[in-house]
Structure 1
Amino acid sequence: MSQVDKFERILSTEDFQKDVVYEGVSFWKDVYLRFIENRGAVIGMILIAIITFMAFFGPMMNEHSYKSKVDNHINLPPRIPVIEKLGIFDGERSGKNVYVEKGLDDVYYWFGTDNLGRDLWTRTWVGTRVSIYIAMLAVVIDMFIGMGYGLISGYVGGNVDNVMQRFIEILSGIPNLVIVTLFVIVLNPGILSISLALVITGWIGMSRVVRSQVLKLKELDFILASKTMGASTGMLLMQDLLPNIFGQVIIMSMFSVPNAIFYESFLAFIGLGLQPPLASLGVLINDGYKSILVYPHIILPPVIVLALLMLSFNLLADGLRDSFDPKMKQH
């Protein structure tokens, strides 16, 4: 028996012996494909789109403004056309139809009214605009101030890095509430005080993340090759370092958004944010909790919108993190 005859062929088909050629996929397309496979992230993005749409167009769906008061419409429960026939949102409280008792047969308030007779539907969506503004502001602050500060600190290093990091430690040691309080004393409570407080301290976390990434990347061979080719510092930062940390920057920005939204709502709740008759979700929650046992419909809409908004941004951030991280790729 020859040496070849000692081997027995197991597979009877040639399919397993063919080379498999996979189609090349770009980095961004790969990120997109992984993102759309994440149901939670997609749901979060859809909810953000719906809430944003309602924040800008919801107040236009009825004739009430966010500050108009009607004395005869105080503390009315929700009442929605058509749906009221199903026995829900029909204007009843304690078994009595409040609208019929007051002779308001043709009046509808989709979220009800507050203790001053103001439409909660309009005030809720107008207040949501403030939260969306804070979300956009947090992203801009992270992208420009935090990312720029971290890039310079990490790349330059040495004494410059030491001075910049000591400055951050000083800012971090000052409580945010103290900073907002100082601005409130000078500028009065409002969105401007909150915005300035975010500008001063809202970028610190991003700058530290970017600095740590730059310290790791700047010692790699491709940076040395760019320096050898005569690349300027600006080109190194913008063309070599930034693209490699941009995914992390986006992820951190998305994670900072819920914190910023909650920060504004908390300040409004304790009276350091927008002042009535202006509306924000925090102001509405502050108004509603005072009568939560008697008129729970006042606090429910802003609480639900705030919870959905924060949950949606967290789901979106988780999805982006998984999409940008090659280790999360399923083989």
Structure 2
Amino acid sequence: MKKKLKWITLAIVVLVAVIAFLGYRFIFAPNTAFDEKEVAVYIATGSDFSDVQHRLNPLLKNPAAFEQIAHRMGYTQNVKAGKYIIKKGANNIDIVRTLRNRNIPVKLKFNNQERIEDLAGRISKQIEADSTTLLRAFLEPTFLKNNGFTDATALAMYLPNTYEFYWNTSAEDFRDRMLKEYQRFWTDERKAKAKAQGLTPVEVCVLASVVQKETAKVDERPRIAGVYLNRLHSNMMLQADPTAIFAMKNHTGDYTMVIKRVTNLHTSLENPYNTYQKYGLPIGIITMPDISSIEAVLNPEKHDYLYFVADPQNYGYHKFSRTYLQHLQGRSEYIKWADKNGVK
């Protein structure tokens, strides 16, 4: 009898040990099936647990074990949207805790967007909201009116930089955050500088977009800005080639066209963006200006230049003139160079 009891006791001990071992493996053993150090998992807004399983199961050794732990920890009824990082070797508890509490922000970047539509497309590649939803939020009429923008100037609100956002940020939340960043940028000091030039903050951005397109040389932008401001203050037409180029794109609807040489075909076009045909600024932004271009308009170089033309001897830079006669001489040099080098 004692011997039999001994064997029964031993069997119970072994059974308990096996159950404990299996329980440990079920709960604490690694449950990832990928080779990378970590994998990003994106859970869309409105997802339920079955959506999570669809995304996560291919990454797991034992999906059933994860499901059991998720149920026990109350996650199946509390799914949260976001971007989550699952590390190699994570156990089921680690995975559930990550999905429940560790939505991580993304580094969102944008610059050099020519149109608000381009910006919507760029942002849609970095957060959950699609380009159509973003564009609708960007151009929502009441929002624009309440904040002093139009469809043509809406791009002025989006200052190129790197920002932190949660991946599941809505289109409206992204737009509203950008408005706050814009308002933060336009300090009293910057507003005073804009006023001193006879411009509003939006008008500064419009002119900065022209400066941006006129030269890629950051050190030359204050001088270019000074020329355009001199023209504005002298009631001259801006006659800015980038506005003629954008006007042609706007007129045809083909924003992919490349125009290397501005001709009478472009400058004679009747279009509200074409400053060869209208006084003052174009009706809107012709590209997203860098901060350097905005600062160039706010802090222009003080001079009496009224004209400039591309400098063939100093690629990317321009020759500046005070008189139209001097400008014609420089323009003649450039035309000869352009003809010789096949610039069309």
TM-score (norm 2): 0.20
Q: Choose between structure 1 and 2: higher helix proportion.
A: 1
Q: Choose between structure 1 and 2: higher strand proportion.
A: 2
Q: Which has the higher contact order (CA 8 A, sep 6+)?
A: 1
Structure showing greater radius of gyration is 2
TM-score (norm 1): 0.21
